[in-house]
A and B are shown apart, each in its own frame.
Chain A
Amino acid sequence: MPTLASSDVPVPTVTVVPSRQRIFRKKIKKYRALLLMMIPGLAYLILNNYIPMYGVILAFKELNYVDGIFGSPWAGLYNFKFLFNSPDAYLITRNTVLYNGAFIIVNTSIALLIALLVNEIKDKVVTRFYQSTFLLPHIISMVVVAYLVYSFLNAESDFINRQLANWFGFDSISWYNEANYWPYVLVIVNAWKSVGYLAIIYFAAIIGIDKEYYEAATIDGASKWKQMTRITIPLIAPMIIVMTLLSISTIMRSDFGLFYQVPMNSGPLMPTTNTIDTFVYRAMIVRGDIGMSTAAGVYQSVVCFFLILGANFAVRRISKDNALF
């Protein structure tokens, strides 16, 4: 009988496969408490991350509320065509990338300067004081930052127009109506908020350097400046490169709060303050265009994904320990 013949063949595999499965099942059973512990977190990742990932199909649909997400007709690449044919696509991409580029350069330079100089101060208490003062802007929310910026820039009574303009004799500026000043404003605000944080990370890398290098250099008569340029900077260079590459990998993402709260959602500022994230939000909430806003989000996520893979590949070649994977 054919059944007999076919049951002849699997006999060896029958004994091998189940035993492997049994070992695995035994292991699962042994560790079931540990695996059960992971269930809440796993459920959360599915809800918060994986179901929305599946939701990207909305970008390829023409959503109407009668048919719902799954019943709505497919729209092919219509949403993407609509997005990339609008002038917005170029504008928001340019803004996001240029701002991030400026942030990387400005923040890294200032943070490095601070970290190198803090390292020159040997008094622990003083170091601690400076560190926590510089970090203070980092812990407050963007709402508070918006208030602080408003107090410097608002139309009638702000500090810059009413005090500084008087002292230095320039004409007052209607800040929230003039887009061309905002690249500077936002770069300064972002530096103010995040430089302290970056400086602490670089400072941690610097104090991790073996003290013997400096002792040897001092014996050889190397000046402080020589020690900084020949020991400190070369030794933290991999760290700087890694941090920079990681920032480049998120160059398509923008801090929503910085670009939405700080310009106070002001219309005339759109040309220089609209980024991909604020665009997606406005397209969804204000215009209710689910398909196109999802498409813009997908565009951002896909570009980001490849940038992260690329950055990680580069990081691995420089310092394997710092690679993400």
Chain B
Amino acid sequence: MPFATRIHKPLIHLFFLLFSVVSLMPFVLVFMVSITDESSIVQNGYSFFPSKLNFASYQFLFNDFGQIARSYGVTILVTLLGTTISLFITALFAYPLSRKDLPLRRTMSFILFFTMLFSGGMVPWYITYVTMVGLKNSLFGMIIPNLLMSAFNVLLMRSFFANTIPESIIESGTIDGANELTIFLKLVVPLSAPIMATIALFNLLAFWNDWYNCMLFIDKPELINIQYLMTKTLNNIQFLVMKADSSSQVGELLAKMPTEGVRMALAIIGIAPLLIAYPFFQKYYISGITSGAVKG
């Protein structure tokens, strides 16, 4: 092995290890703060190596678990519903577009495509949903606006159908007298597991991570999802105890609360499911990104 190769390999690994540390470090810091004793935070600030550990923040959160459990419930429900509906709508729109013989194909493609070029902006969009559809304080306010069907995902699916489903399969289905819906459900969908998984994963992450729709369309605390609960708590820790029965109780709770630790503990509770699931889905996520980039 030439000298230059011997020397540059370890250097590359060193660079990447440093970069991995940079990628992961903020998560570690937040976790460490969440298990640091409040007195230690006051004394030394946030640290990767706290002088005193304490799980009081988690205990505090679990004592008043109502809001968190509720927000988690909202997030899970919205994510499941949203991902399912979204996958259906996207696939049903993308499949006909992949059929070269479809009448009105160019018109439909243009209608889809133009939404990527021009938008009316956020204000008319918001007013449409609030005044025409009445989505304010509805669970569907976190499902329908913007997240239900992305033109990008439709194009991704369309090119998968067009490139990997052999026309002969569709023809054989037609000869056997199957109607288009049966052909789609019985022949095309089973062959499209990879793209379905990819789009479902994209949707899942979009719904799970959404706080924007919640911020715009939801006022009621009982409908707030976990991401927006985290936003509210970051800006004002009191939000967590606001539902306490009386103001004296609020004061009492606030006095007892390890403020900084609770904040970070909530962050950890909020991201834990994603971090735990990540090693299992990262493979599909990466291949989804690259298939989008190559075929675009």
Contact = CB atoms under 8 A, between A and B. Distances in A.
Contact of B282 (A34, A56, A132, A322): A132
A313 B119 CA distance: 20
A49 B45 contact: no
A34 B30 CA distance: 50
Bin the interface of chain B by size: 35 or more
Q: What secondary structure prevails in chain B residues at the interface with A?
A: helix
A55 B124 contact: yes
Interface stretch (B52-60, B62-70, B90-98, B249-257): B90-98
Given A147-B264, A208-B294, A31 B115 contact: no
Contacts of B127: 55, 58, 69, 290
A109 interface: no
Contacts of B296: 322
Contacts of A141: 208-211, 227
B103 A325 contact: no
B37 interface: no
A223 to B, nearest CB: 7
B89 A44 contact: yes
Contacts of B210: 141
Given A40-B93, A158-B45, A284-B122, A131 B116 contact: no
Given A144-B267, A148-B30, A224-B8, A201 B103 contact: no
Given A31-B180, A158-B45, A281-B122, A48 B145 contact: yes
A24 B105 CA distance: 13
A41 B92 contact: yes
A150 B96 CA distance: 47
B23 interface: yes
A277 interface: yes
Contact of B118 (A51, A140, A301, A322): A301
B162 to A, nearest CB: 14
Interface in A200-237: 200-201, 204-205, 208, 223-224
Interface in B97-134: 97, 99, 101-104, 108, 111-113, 115-128, 131-133
A324 B208 CA distance: 29
